[in-house]
């Protein structure tokens, strides 16, 4: 199928200095090169770079359960949960998002598979359904392995898939609202995989469910970073992302504030449940994030978005693991 009128740009038509890279193409990152290989195109639609926080979220949930053991069946179950959360359901999320964002991508990233015309829409729809069905099948298998009387992991997968759909698809299209859309994205990347990992190896408690929903407000700040590269298309098509509504400079401060404030709130939680050493570690991991915010995010988030995420996010995800381990070893959170 041809790309939208007026936005047809293949690799050969892009400027000579246009940043291209096969690695970026395979990861689904901004500035990717063109390709005619159907499997590379499918992988690009799934954006493997976005799988990492979901895989990490499963690890955090397993740690927070307090019941994970280094046994073969536990390792295989954890791997299956990561496969479900990352390649399958995150891949589903990214593919369906590209499907419904093809007009925006034609403005912001015309080299992507759909707006460039490199892959037919029928093939994209098939990929969406295959990833969704495979992800739900794996989730149900995990419930069988865990002997769940209620298929908790399947319900989480189903709920997360529904959120992914309404995030991208009309008429709701949550991403049209900067606050609601970014929080839905943050919760999907932090809370949902954490819940799946914790439910798989233990019991999901109200205390940790609420804690991860609060942590997801830091994820909202991370989600805002992804909006900076799409300002032009979002503005033209009327999407109310935070950079469009508040301007790039103010939105960068909102992003940094959400990330820092709600991680510091987790420090307060750790102190309240008696996990003082973990609280100190979390503070030490927040400090370099603030430093990189000053260097990259607050200086020029459009130019330095990738550099900022590459430098700061490792400290955020390590902080998540510190919090999860502390929660898993606190009798207070296990009882609530």
Q: What is the pLDDT of residues 181-226, one digit of tens each?
A: 999 999 999 999 999 999 999 998 888 899 999 999 999 999 999 8
Between 133 and 38, residue with greater pLDDT: 133
189, 267, 271, 273: which is closest to 224 by C-alpha? 189
pLDDT at 230: 83
Q: Which residues lie closer than 8 Å to 246 by C-beta, 6 or more apart?
A: 254
How far is residue 62's CA from residue 164's CA, in Å, rounded to a whole number?
23
* Lookup result for tokens 């369906």: 96
Between 91 and 18, residue with greater pLDDT: 91
pLDDT at 255: 96
- DSSP, collapsed to helix, strand or coil, labels residue 153 as helix
Predicted confidence band at 4 (pLDDT cuts at 50, 70, 90)?
very low
CB 304 within 8 A of CB 292: no
Q: What is the pLDDT of residues 67-99, one digit of tens each?
A: 999 999 999 999 999 999 999 999 999 999 999
Model-level pTM? 0.84
């Amino acid at each position: 199928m041809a790309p939208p009128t007026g936005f047809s740009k293949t690799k050969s038509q892009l400027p000579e200095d246009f940043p291209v890279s096969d690695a970026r193409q395979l990861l689904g990152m901004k500035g990717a090169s063109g390709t005619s290989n159907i499997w590379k195109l499918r992988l690009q639609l799934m954006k493997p770079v976005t799988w990492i926080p979901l895989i990490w979220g499963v690890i955090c949930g397993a740690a927070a359960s307090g019941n994970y053991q280094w046994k073969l069946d536990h390792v295989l179950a954890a791997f299956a949960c990561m496969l479900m959360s990352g390649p399958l359901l995150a891949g589903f999320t990214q593919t369906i998002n590209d499907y419904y964002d093809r007009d925006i991508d034609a403005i912001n990233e015309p080299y992507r598979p759909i707006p460039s015309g490199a892959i037919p829409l029928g093939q994209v729809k098939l990929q969406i359904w295959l990833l969704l069905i495979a992800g739900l099948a794996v989730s149900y298998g995990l419930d069988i392995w865990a002997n769940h009387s209620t298929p908790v992991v399947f319900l989480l997968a189903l709920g997360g898939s529904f959120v992914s759909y309404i995030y991208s698809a009309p008429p709701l299209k949550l991403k049209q609202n900067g606050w609601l859309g970014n929080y839905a994205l943050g919760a999907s990347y932090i809370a949902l995989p954490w819940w799946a990992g914790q439910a798989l190896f233990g019991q999901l408690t109200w205390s940790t469910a609420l804690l991860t929903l609060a942590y997801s407000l830091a994820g909202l700040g991370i989600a805002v970073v992804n909006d900076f590269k799409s300002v032009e298309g979002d503005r033209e098509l009327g999407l109310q992302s935070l950079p469009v509504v508040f301007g790039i400079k103010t939105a960068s401060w909102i992003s940094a504030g959400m990330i820092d404030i709600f991680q510091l709130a987790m420090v307060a939680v750790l102190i309240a449940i008696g996990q003082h050493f973990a609280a100190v570690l979390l503070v030490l991991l927040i400090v370099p994030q603030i430093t990189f915010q000053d260097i990259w995010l607050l200086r020029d988030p459009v130019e330095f978005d990738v550099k900022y995420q590459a430098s700061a996010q490792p400290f955020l995800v390590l902080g998540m693991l510190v919090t999860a381990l502390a929660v898993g070893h606190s009798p207070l959170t296990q009882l609530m």
